[in-house]
Amino acid sequence: MIDFFRKQKYLIDFTLASLLRRKGKNFGLLFVYTLIVFMLASVMLFTHALRHEAGIILQQSPEIILQRMVAGRHALMPADYLDRIGRLRGVVEKKGRLWGYFYDPAVKANYTMMVDETKGLSTTETIIGAAIARTRGVGIGDWITFRSHDGEAYSFQVTDILDTVSELVSADLVFLSEKAYRVTFGVPDGYFTDLVLSVRNPREVQKIAEKLSLKLPDTRPILREEVLRTYDSIFSWRQGIVFVLLAGAVLAFVIFAWDKASGLSAEEKREIGILKAVGWETGDVLRMKFWEGAIVSLAAFIIGYLAAYAHVFYGSASLFEPVLKGWAVLYPDFQLTPFIDGMQVATLFFFTVFPYTVATIIPIWQASITDPDAIMR
């Protein structure tokens, strides 16, 4: 066993020396190879981290959202629907919510306006998201003006700015008092945007949703799991868009790498002939060239993946941020929590390292079984 490892060490030393003799060609290949791994890994890491972050945040959302539907569209929910629901086993809390979208022509962006009574806001106070504060150039103590549904302008004093840690979901959020919200949007008393229900046992959510559909046939229950699946689909779709954009570069690299791996230069063939002439066996030549492919591909994978990790988690994925985040105007500024999926790494490793390493074996085998004298001539 010791002899085996010693032999592999000598083969690796010889392979490194052989690579350095053709350093211009090999460093060019390594650079392109690393760049491809870097781009693919950046997209995968950023998308997966966003998906993971959104999943953690949405776990705090209510298990069931109940919306009233009129002619297939979302409509206001009468407050008496809370009484019509009655007591449902497993439901620990039910309440109405007030929220909506407000278009701000000053920055050409939509805000999400919401009522949260736990904030203790007066009718002239508001709490805004960090992206709104940056875009509008306001801070705590400043005043911000919104125009209501009837054209009247109402000013609110900013009492707080939401923490940047939650900016993934709070970048465009505006909190108002209930009275200020109803005046701004013209929502009469006794109506809510929708209802939310908290369920004690997650396994009972589907059954409770079925009961709600029977009691209130003009409503639509939306489960938290459905929201999570929607976010997952959105991020997967955006990841697919970037991969399609990169497909041309990946295809060009595949052709380049295959041409390099499957075709031997006259110098490489002469080197194999000399090795065979001085006593190297076919297996030794194959192992040497296997290590050559493995060293190049492994070095490209490690350097590219580490560069992608730094780019995503320390550089905010600036190359792919506009496509994958998806906000048109109010871009959230947040630091992603480093998260790596082992299966994702294994998949990327398999599709970037394995094909190139294997592709180097076939032409080398064909050359190594040829008579050394014929090769050198």
116, 97 Cβ separation under 8 angstroms: no
Architecture, CATH, for domain 64-222? Beta Barrel (2.40)
**Which of 97-101, 162-166, 294-298 shows the lowest mean pLDDT across its residues?**
162-166
pLDDT for 292-350, tens place per residue? 777 888 888 999 999 999 888 887 777 766 665 555 556 666 666 777 778 878 888 88
DSSP label of 165: G
Residue 81: name the closest of 220, 201, 281 by CA.
Answer: 220
pLDDT for 172-200, tens place per residue? 889 999 999 999 999 999 999 999 998 88
Asked if residue 367 has pLDDT above 70, the reply is: no
- CATH 2.40.40.20 positions along the chain are 64-222
Asked if residue 16 has pLDDT above 80, the reply is: no
Rounded Cα distance between 75 and 347, Å, is 45
**Which of 4-8, 125-129, 297-301 shows the lowest mean pLDDT across its residues?**
4-8
Asked if residue 47 has pLDDT above 90, the reply is: no
376, 266 Cβ separation under 8 angstroms: no
**Entry pTM:** 0.69
- 144 — pLDDT class (breaks 50, 70, 90): very high
- 158 — pLDDT class (breaks 50, 70, 90): very high
Give the model's pLDDT for residue 345.
Answer: 84
Asked if residue 263 has pLDDT above 60, the reply is: no
Asked if residue 8 has pLDDT above 80, the reply is: no
pLDDT (average), residues 215-239:
80
Pairing of strands 77-78, 191-192: antiparallel
Give the model's pLDDT for residue 62.
Answer: 83
Task: Give the orientation angle of helix 342-352 with respect to helix 23-58, to 10 degrees.
Answer: 150
- 371 — pLDDT class (breaks 50, 70, 90): low
CA angle (328, 337, 311) in 5-degree steps: 70
Which among 11-20, 166-175, 268-277 has the top mean pLDDT? 166-175
**Which of 26-30, 52-56, 302-306, 326-330 shows the lowest mean pLDDT across its residues?**
326-330
Give the model's pLDDT for residue 25.
Answer: 73
Residue bearing the bigger pLDDT, 194 or 11: 194
Give the model's pLDDT for residue 306.
Answer: 92
321, 331 Cβ separation under 8 angstroms: yes
Give the model's pLDDT for residue 264.
Answer: 58
Q: Rounding to the nearest 10 degrees, give the CA dihedral for residues 205, 209, 210, 214.
A: 150
Rounded Cα distance between 16 and 21, Å, is 9
Q: What is the mean pLDDT of the chain?
A: 79
Give CB contacts under 8 A, 24+ apart, made by 7-12: 8/287, 8/291, 11/284, 11/287, 11/288, 11/291, 12/291, 12/295
Give the model's pLDDT for residue 44.
Answer: 82
